Amino acid sequence: MGSLQEQVLPQEDDGTLSAVFDNKNPPRLGTDVGIRLPLSAIAAFASGLALGASHGSTKASFRFRAENAHRFPTSPTGWYQYHKSKNYTSMIGGLKEGTKLGMKVGIGAVAFCIFEETVDHARGNRDFLSTVTAGLSFSGVYSLLARHDVYTAARTAKVGLKLSLAYGLLQDVFASFRGSRPQYIQFMFNVLGKPGFP
């Protein structure tokens, strides 16, 4: 029995479905979107897991100490059991908080990458403007889901603008060093009459 791909016959419209994120420009960060999405999700989940576990374990440890402040042990065996229970509670709290934050950050990173690729495809161009548009869109969606008031939403949009601008320009510099300059950088080199770097 063959693979699933061999069993399914190709249809006429398959070309349009596979070309959803096709673009004439080279991929961002030199990595195709099919590879970049899982990598960004894994990296974001790992970062969220580490930060959430650190915060969650500290919070669970403090909660355990507060809940048991009125009944401190009196014997060495009691103290051993107290610290053993506190460490166990701290570890479980850290894993719960870390998993929660890791999932949130991972989903957010995937959503941002999808927004960025969608804007790239709609514009037909890959540069920092697509990243800024995706960052502002993502901050707006986040503010809507988190039910922020107007002032907090404006602050979130400002942070999204700054971070996405820095990230987009960094991607453009990286693309320039790889030999595929974005159009605006190529335009600047043409206007200034400099041949640019190889």
The answer to whether 48 and 104 are in contact (CB under 8 A) is yes
| DSSP letter (8 states) at residue 27 | P
Residue 47 pLDDT greater than 70, yes or no? yes
Q: Average pLDDT over the chain, rounded to whole?
A: 84
SS3 24: coil
Region 130-141: mean pLDDT is: 92
Residue 170: CB atoms within 10 A of its CB come to: 13
Percent of the chain with pLDDT over 90: 52
50 pLDDT higher than 90: yes
Cα(71)–Cα(184) distance, integer angstroms? 68
**Interval 149-158 mean pLDDT:** 94
DSSP 127: S
184/194 Cα distance (integer angstroms): 14
Identify the residue with better confidence: 184 or 89: 89
- Residue 3: which H helix or E strand, with range? none
Alpha helices in the chain (DSSP H): 4-7, 14-18, 33-67, 76-123, 128-145, 150-177, 183-192
What is the residue extent of each domain of the chain?
Answer: 31-124, 125-198
First to last CA, the chain: 50
Tell me which of 74 and 194 has the higher pLDDT. Answer: 74
pLDDT in tens, 5-34: 455 554 444 444 345 556 666 677 767 778
Residue 171 has pLDDT above 80, yes or no: yes
pLDDT mean over 149-156: 94
Kindly report the backbone phi and psi dihedral angles of residue 36, in degrees, each rounded to the nearest multiple of 5, phi listed first. Answer: -70, -35
Neighbours of 32 (CB within 10 A): 12
Query: What average pLDDT does the segment 142-154 reach?
Result: 93
123 pLDDT tier (thresholds 50, 70, 90) = confident
**Cα 108 from Cα 113, distance rounded (Å):** 9
* Residues contacting residue 182 through CB under 8 Å, at least 6 positions apart: 25, 125, 126, 127, 128, 172, 175, 176
Contact (CB, 8 A) for 144 and 111: no
